[in-house]
Structure formats: structure tokens, C-alpha cells
Amino acid sequence: MSESKDFLRLKVEEDLKAGKYQNIVTRFPPEPNGFPHIGHAKSICINFGIARDYQGQCNLRMDDTNPTTEDTKYVEALKDAVTWLGFNWNGNVRYASDYFPKIYDYAVQLIQMGKAYVDSLNEEEIREYRGSVTEAGRRSVYANRSIEENLALFKGMKEGKFKDGEHVLRAKIDMSAANMKMRDPLLYRIRHSHHFRTGDTWCIYPMYDFAHCLSDYIEGVTHSICTLEFENNRDIYDWVLDALELTPPRPYQHEFARLGINYTVMSKRKLLELVNGNYVNGWDDPRLPTIAGYKRRGYTPESIINFCEQIGIAKANSMVDVAQLEFCIRDDLNQKVPRVMCVLDPLKVTIENYEGEEEIDASYYPHDVPKVGSRKLPFSREIYIERDDFMENPIEGYHRFTPTQPVRLKHAYILTCKEVIKDANGAIVELKATYHPDSKSGADTSGIKTKSAIHWVSAKHAKQIEVRLYERLYKIDAPENVEDLNPDSLHVNTHAFIEPAVISEKVDVRFQFERQGYFYADPMDYTDEHPVFNKIVGLKDSWAKKSEAPKNTPKAEAKKAHIEGDVAPMSTEELARFERYTALNLNTEIANTLARDEALSHFFDETLLHVKSPTTLANLVANEVARELKKELPLNFGATEVAELVMMLDEGVISSKIAKEVFEAIVHTGEKPKAIIESKGLKQISDPAIIAVMIEEVMAKNPDNLAKYQAGNTNLFGFFVGQVLKQSGGKANPTIVNELVSKKLNHG
């Protein structure tokens, strides 16, 4: 029994070992009275995950016992959430209403056993009779009714002879119980309301505590997993099943801590208030924590599942930082999406010494992303740059474009500013510049030193788009009501410009806009005539910096529109390291990370003496090694081990994913990378013949998606690549997989 397993899985294993159950059956039992949120995602992952891990089954069951709040649209939203997250429920969707006749029979049985009675107290009297934590309750005088009278009244309730609230059915347990939920809890109430499934067949409906445990029993559920707020309800759960003397095996309830995230509300009541009050644009508003909201914003199922796995399963409630969820989507998209250029706040630049047009070949992916693909970037005399990438009177440490400081255009040339043109109000409306013909990226012989590279688009060729920029919905970390809403949670930018290939070639639906963040083509509003992109998440978490930034200081005013991730100016030593690293063709973000950390920089430089592969090494050091150095503990590895790992990565012996696994093993054991790879059989699969067989198997298992791809849904390309990599256990060479999947899909 592994100590790394959570307490729920340990309980399942204990029950299996003891022979308590032959097969594991779990269930996800939401009430269809709202759209599912990220807390439901955690429950979905737990219930479906346990069923998967122990070769069991998980049922999807709607707890539709309250006709006044439930609706088919919520059922569909719940089904969609489970499917989108990648899980399959056992058989058909189940409903508590499927079991209404059987549950009614169980209620009659309790009456016949003298364990339930019809009470005629009103709601206020029932509350008064229940007592308090320090005072025992009083049993209703109606509890003395005979079994025959109770049966007749309950039948009359079922036949619609009484008004709402005139009678209720209660369990006869203990009015002095320490657990107040056990003080003769309600089992049935009268509701003359139309039910979305059963129509007007019923006018009495079972309470959650009565219907839930019996539905579990009827379905053969073994482990009824719910959140901690139902901990006190467990006594009722057990009482009902025991009182009815049901044939074993029977289910047992187990509780885990519900998910709480700062800057977020997950109360259905509060979410409904936001939707009905038009504080947001429907249940799928990208600012909401609903699955539909995350889906429309551009989050991936993998990022949500990874988040749920990272936070784990605990027995005590706690608050999770929303930054952890944002990290998961960044981490997922970083290895998947194309990098493109989009200017959100355009400033026109006229390059006076450039004539004509040209196309620049630019890769969609950096060196450390195992994907291939490129596009043609049109370049012309007039371009747009980001307005805050130019500063006429630069502050200390500003490394972009100024009247005296040249700058590199990403993938293109170096520019020098010649003139600043302003309007009548003194606002900058255009820059005049010259370019250096011998400074083209990849073939630069100009000798000009620049401190940064900026993104740009050709004014003639760029496509105008709408960009929806989202911030957190609430302005405080523990919101209570609508007064805590952030008034600046949505900015709609209709004057952004993007490079044309994004619209014309449609290589993906998610992109990293260079130096801006990750964006998603809105699935509802996007058209080629009016492209709309939602901001998924920024490149770095700048929320804390924004909220703590000093107000109205000259420096703060100058940096109002700063790019996310801007930090304090580099020292002379750091700047020297930064220039040395960018000269090695490291991307600016990695170079910046290494340059600013002396220990990290030293490790990188030392390892570089053993392996001449700066890009691969830099990515490994800036991510994996940096994490270990922050722990300030003795290291089980040094430059030689990391160099050996880098060489095997470059030679294609292992993939990036395997490299991370090997590095983790090095950290814990201190073994040499080659020994770890040999002992664990982790060599990368690069044989095209073996990979081709995997591709055939994946396509044979997914005929529906294959048909959809062939019908024009090319977004499924990533699905097939992911399935092949999954089938190989992450060992298949991603570049070869991409190439062979493309050939198979497009040429048969």
C-alpha cells in the first residue's frame, strides 16, 4: 500500500482486501440547479478517478428531488462538463427521480416499522421544537399517530389531497441527539410543482438525506464520496440503510475537503445571483469559475485535471491560491500552442529607408517546445508596435525603444528612432525610424547591441481583431457579495492588430501572443469577418504587483500600461550576463531568469563547460534546477549529471517529458542519468515503424474523431498526437509523432 495514495484510495484498497466488495462503484451525484464549477471538477476527478484506478464504474446521477429549482439545461451542462474533462459514466445518465416509486415504498416500510410518522407542525414550529446545541428538542405530538393513520395520511399526501407545507414525513429517531440532524429529520415534503422529468406525477418529493443513500444502495454504489459539509449527514445516511435492514452489501459515506479558491465564489446561490442579476454574461462568462466559463475562456481539460491532482485530497478545508490554477494552464499551454504577434495598443512606425515588402519565415514554436511549424510574416514600410514599447523620456532600466536606444523587431530587423510625431495635445501618434538592412535575425552582421526584442505587425497586412481582456472577477481574496466585484474585470479591446496567418491559416485555436499572454478564439462569437479572442491567462502573475503598486509616483505613472512580468532594472553584472546569454540565442525570458539569479547563472555556466547546448541546458536549469536550488538543501547532483541529461535529450535518446522524470530520480537518488534510464526502460521511441503501429491503433479506436477530422475539423490533430503520446507512456518522439500523424491524417 503506497503512502503516496490519498486516504480515499487507501480506504478503497482496505475494503477490497477485506473482501467487503467485489467491484468498486462510485457516483457523481450533482443537483441540476446550476452550472457545475471548479469544485465539481474536483469531485468529478475523484469519483471517476477512483473508479478508473480500481477497474470499477462511476455513475452520473442527477439529484433531481427539488422540482422548483431544477432544469434540463443544467443537466446538459453537467453532462458536458464530465465529457469535456474526459470521463465516461457507466451506462445511461441516472436520476433520483428514476427511483421515486422505490423510495416511496421504502418510506411506507419505515412507517410500517414504526420508524417514521406524518407530522403536521408548520415549518416555524418544527424549527422551534428541534431545540438547540445546548438544549434538547421536543417531539411533536403528531408522532403519537398510529401506523394506520400515518399510512393513510402519507397516501393522501401522495394523492395530492393536502397543500404545500400542510404535512411532512419525518423519521422517528432521537429529539435529544447531539447531532441535531438526527432529531427526527424530514424524509418527504409536499411540493405541488411540475418536475422537468416526471411532470405532475408526483406532488411529494423525498429530501436529499433520504433519497441520496437509497439511490446509492439501489445502484450498488460502494463508496459514497462527498464534501465535508455532509459529514453530519452521514449519521442519517447510515440510520436509513440500517433501519430498513437492507440486504448487504451497502454503501458507506466518506467525506473530503471541498475546494476553496481565493478571489472566487462557488456557492450556487451566489453564482445564480451573478447570472440572474446580469453582473456577468451568462453561466459561461469566462470570468466565472464554472466549467463552461473556463471552457469558453480557453482553459484545457488537462489543465483543470492537473490542478485537481496537484491540490490533492484532504480531510480539512483550506483555501487554494487561484495562482495555482493559472500556473496549471500556463504549464499546459506552454508546450502546446503557437507563438504569434499581436499588438493590443498600436503605435504606428514608418520605416523611412525601407521600400517594398518581404516575407520573413518564422517558427511558431521556440526551441524547447517539441512541435514543428512556421509561417510567413509580412514586413513592410509601415508597422505597428505596442505603445508602451516606446518611451520618449525613459525611466531607469527601460530596455525597449527610445529616441536614443535602438530595438530589435522580433524575427526581423533592428530599428533606430529618428523622429517622434505628436498631435495637438502632445500625444505621440507616430514614430519615424530607420532599419539596419544587415541586422536581420539569424543573419545579423550589424554589430549593433540591443537590450530587448519587441513584437510588431505589418500595418498593411495585419488583421484587426477584438480582444477580451479578463482580470479576476472579485477585487478581494475572500469575496462575500456583489459589492466585492472588481469593476475592471473585463476590458474589450476592438482596435488590436494580429499577424495575418493567425486568421488565414488557423493553425490552432489557442495562441501565445508574444509578451502578452495566452489567448483563445472565442467559440461562440468568433468569425473570420470579426475575429474575437479571449485572454486565458497572462505570462506571469502580476496581480499582486498591480494591487500593491504605489500610486501617482512618476515611475508608476510611466509604467501604467506595463507588460506583465516587468521587474526592477538589472544591475550592471546582471545586464552583462543577460547580454552574454542572449548572444547564445537564448530567448529573453530564459536569459532574464538566469541573469538575475547568481546561483542559477553559476550553475548554468559551469554546466556549459561540459556540454555545448546552451538552449536545451538553459531551459532545464531555469525550470528544474531552479526549483531545487530554491529549497536551499544539499543537492544530489551537479553539473556533470545535468550535462549528461542534456546530451541524451539532444541526441533524441529521451524526450523532454522523460527528462523531467529522470531529473526527479536524480534529485532523490543521486544516480547517473544513464543508469536511471537503463534501469527504468525510459529510452525514447524514435523508430517510425513502431510509432506508425501506435498511430494505426489510436485511429482504429477513435473512428468518430477520425471521421470528424476528415470532414474538416482539423483541430482534432492535437487529439490524435496526444493519444499516441499517451499510448506510448510519453516515450514516443513528439517530432516524429507529429510528422507521422500529419501524413496519416492528410494522405492516408
Integer angstrom CA distances of residue 114 from 126, 143, 699:
20, 10, 61
Domain that holds residue 586: 572-680
Q: What is the mean pLDDT of the segment spanning 335-353?
A: 97
DSSP letter for each residue of 176-238 = T-SSGGGSS-EEEEE----BTTTBTS-SEEE-HHHHHHHHHHHHT-SEEEEEGGGTTTHHHHH
Integer angstrom CA distances of residue 434 from 1, 268, 352, 458:
69, 58, 6, 15
In this predicted structure, the answer to whether residue 440 has a pLDDT above a threshold of 80 is yes
Q: What is the mean pLDDT of the segment spanning 230-237?
A: 95
Q: Considering 632, 653, 680, which residue would you say is the last residue of a domain? A: 680
Tell me which of 273-282, 404-413, 541-550, 636-645 is least confident: 541-550
Digit-coded pLDDT (tens) for 588-613:
667 878 888 888 999 999 999 998 88
- Do 647 and 706 lie in one domain? The reply is no
Of 268, 296, 336, 472, the active-site residue reads: 268
pLDDT confidence of 555, banded at 50, 70, 90? very low
Q: Is residue 305 part of a domain?
A: no
Q: What is the mean pLDDT of the segment spanning 631-645?
A: 86
Please, are residues 119 and 170 in contact by the beta-carbon 8 Å criterion? Answer: yes
Mean pLDDT of the chain: 90
- Write down the pLDDT at residue 102: 98
Integer angstrom CA distances of residue 544 from 129, 481, 540, 640:
50, 22, 11, 38
pLDDT confidence of 585, banded at 50, 70, 90? confident
Q: Is residue 535 part of a domain?
A: no
Of 52, 258, 376, 660, the active-site residue reads: 258
Distance CA 249, CA 16 (A): 13
Pairing type for strands 223-227 and 25-28 reads unpaired
Digit-coded pLDDT (tens) for 466-488:
999 999 999 998 998 899 999 99
- Write down the pLDDT at residue 4: 64
- Write down the pLDDT at residue 567: 41
Q: Is residue 706 part of a domain?
A: yes
- Do 361 and 453 lie in one domain? The reply is yes
CATH number at residue 389: 2.40.240.10
Q: Considering 680, 703, 723, which residue would you say is the last residue of a domain? A: 680
Cα angle 589, 595, 598 (rounded to 5 degrees) comes to 140
Q: Considering 411, 429, 459, which residue would you say is the last residue of a domain? A: 459
Dihedral of the alpha carbons of 604, 610, 614, 620, in degrees to the nearest 10 = -60
Q: Highest mean pLDDT range out of 4-13, 398-407, 574-583, 738-747?
A: 398-407
Question: Quick check: is 31 catalytic?
Answer: yes
Question: What is the three-class DSSP state of 439?
Answer: helix
In this predicted structure, the answer to whether residue 124 has a pLDDT above a threshold of 80 is yes
- Do 711 and 632 lie in one domain? The reply is no
Domain count of the fold of the chain: 3
Distance CA 49, CA 296 (A): 24
In this predicted structure, the answer to whether residue 135 has a pLDDT above a threshold of 70 is yes
Q: What percent of the chain has pLDDT over 90?
A: 69
- Do 373 and 441 lie in one domain? The reply is yes
Question: Quick check: is 422 catalytic?
Answer: no
Of 11, 13, 31, 79, the active-site residue reads: 31
pTM over 0.75, yes/no: no
- Write down the pLDDT at residue 507: 94
Please, are residues 715 and 509 in contact by the beta-carbon 8 Å criterion? Answer: yes
Q: What is the mean pLDDT of the segment spanning 549-577?
A: 50
Q: What is the mean pLDDT of the segment spanning 45-62?
A: 97
In this predicted structure, the answer to whether residue 249 has a pLDDT above a threshold of 90 is yes
Distance CA 324, CA 2 (A): 26
Q: Is residue 37 part of a domain?
A: no
Digit-coded pLDDT (tens) for 186-229:
999 999 999 999 999 999 999 999 999 999 999 999 999 999 98
In this predicted structure, the answer to whether residue 543 has a pLDDT above a threshold of 70 is no
Q: Is residue 374 part of a domain?
A: yes
More confident residue, 515 or 318: 515
Single-letter code of the amino acid located at 432: K
Digit-coded pLDDT (tens) for 662-671:
888 888 888 8
Q: How many CB atoms lie within 10 A of CB 231?
A: 14
- Do 364 and 436 lie in one domain? The reply is yes
In this predicted structure, the answer to whether residue 562 has a pLDDT above a threshold of 50 is no
